[in-house]
A and B are shown apart, each in its own frame.
Chain A
Amino acid sequence: MTLLGLLDREPSHGYELKRDYDTFFSRGKPLPFGQVYATLSRLVRDGKIVVGEVEPGVGPERKRYVITERGATDVESWLTEPVDAEPNLQTVLFTKVVLALMLGRPAEEYLDVQRATHLRRMTELTEIKRGGDLVDTMLADHGLFHLEADLHWIDTTVARLDALRETVAGR
């Protein structure tokens, strides 16, 4: 969807798409050229883009891709649809806590280790923010806010462990 979205700006060559993708979205993992052209072929096959004017020369670099109306509609729908807000509460962490209590293991210690792991990652992301540009900052913020929400859950769960232990034992 990202490449399709980039084509919604203006018709582009594959190498231009890769360059823009790597600048804004890859975060240290450049997109292989093979994957760029494989995705473009699939989008052509699905009627979401077409190959525009072919420039003189050889190789795939001379092709300029143009988004179709169908492709533009897809981009619009994707942008306006909210991302799933994770309705499923059975996260790995939740499962670990309940299982730990069921098995008589030290759930609080596990949560303490998890808190430390979260805080360490938050420290790393904060360092990235302090030395980074605006794009890095915004991406790091996204991670930081999610980790912070997890930490709130961890703290509240620690405060509820005794009650949860009784609930688990009662089943």
Chain B
Amino acid sequence: MKPIEARDVVLSFGETPALRGASVSVAPGEIVAIMGPSGSGKSTLLHCLAGILAPDAGEIHFDGRRIDNLSENERSVLRRQQFGFVFQFGQLVPELTAEENVALPLLLNGVKRAAALEQARPWFARLGLAGLERRRSGELSGGQAQRVALARGLVARPGALFADEPTGALDSLTGEQVMDLLVASAREQGTTVVLVTHDARVAAYADRQVIVRDGKVNALVRS
């Protein structure tokens, strides 16, 4: 279980400020939802926490290590080895089968193909996808594709999973199934999760919610 922290993070896109001193701490194994209006900076904050974007000022720490000052290449290695990702539209590789998509993070980390597929396969039964291993993304429903994306995000047992609107393209019931599986799998593995959503019912699956407004984090006061 690994903690993540942003300290006074500032980031602008050209003249437009996106984050203006955002701070947030995520405890080891915690599931935190980042909420906020459109354009508030919530996805930008997720991208900074995940080492996709480097902030102009402030610090990002993962598992006690400062990561905002790493080189592009070092951040890329960190993302591949320590982080899992789930995006709104699954973003599966259409040329690969579902099981190859799940195995992808392992293959990229140098695991041999047979071993990678062997690790990928149990996820299909676990996420209610048994029998769909050989299908390509075009042959999967939106909910199935998103569960494959979830398996891909967790297969390498990452220290942290970053999910950006993971149910945004799904209907309400299918979205709930995906969130149920995401929470259950992350808790089982002890994976720290940072989730961006505009949907309060999705955010309610998290242990804690924070609001980003005008590029700053408003940690919700518990009354």
Contact = CB atoms under 8 A, between A and B. Distances in A.
Tell me if A's interface is mostly helix, strand, loop or mixed.
helix
A16 interface: no
Contact of B222 (A116, A148, A155): A116
Contact of B223 (A117, A130, A155): A117
Contacts of B176: 129
A167 interface: no
B201 A122 contact: yes
Contacts, number: 47
A77 to B, nearest CB: 32
A120 interface: yes
Interface string B95-106: 000000000000
Interface residues of B, number: 18
Nearest to B183: A130
A115 B211 contact: yes
Contacts of B222: 116, 120
Most B CB within 10 A of own CB, among A119, A129, A144? A119
A126 B182 CA distance: 14
B77 interface: no
Contacts of B209: 116, 119, 123
B201 A123 contact: no
Contact of B200 (A113, A148, A159): A148
Contacts of A115: 211, 220
A126 B205 contact: yes
Contacts of B203: 119, 122
A130 B200 contact: no
Interface string A110-140: 0011111111101101100110000000000
A126 B221 contact: no
Best-surrounded residue of B180, B183, B211, B223 (most CB of chain A within 10 A): B223
Given A117-B223, A122-B203, 17 more contacts: A112-B211, A112-B218, A112-B220, A115-B220, A116-B222, A118-B200, A119-B209, A122-B200, A122-B201, A123-B207, A126-B205, A130-B180, A130-B183, A144-B204, A147-B200, A148-B200, A151-B200
Interface of B: 37, 176, 180, 183, 200-201, 203-207, 209, 211, 218, 220-223
The 9 closest A-B pairs by CB, nearest first: A122-B204, A116-B220, A126-B204, A113-B223, A123-B204, A117-B223, A151-B200, A119-B209, A148-B200
Interface of A: 112-120, 122-123, 125-126, 129-130, 144-145, 147-148, 151, 155, 159
14 contacts: A112-B218, A112-B221, A113-B221, A113-B223, A115-B211, A116-B223, A118-B200, A120-B222, A122-B203, A123-B204, A123-B207, A145-B201, A155-B37, A159-B37
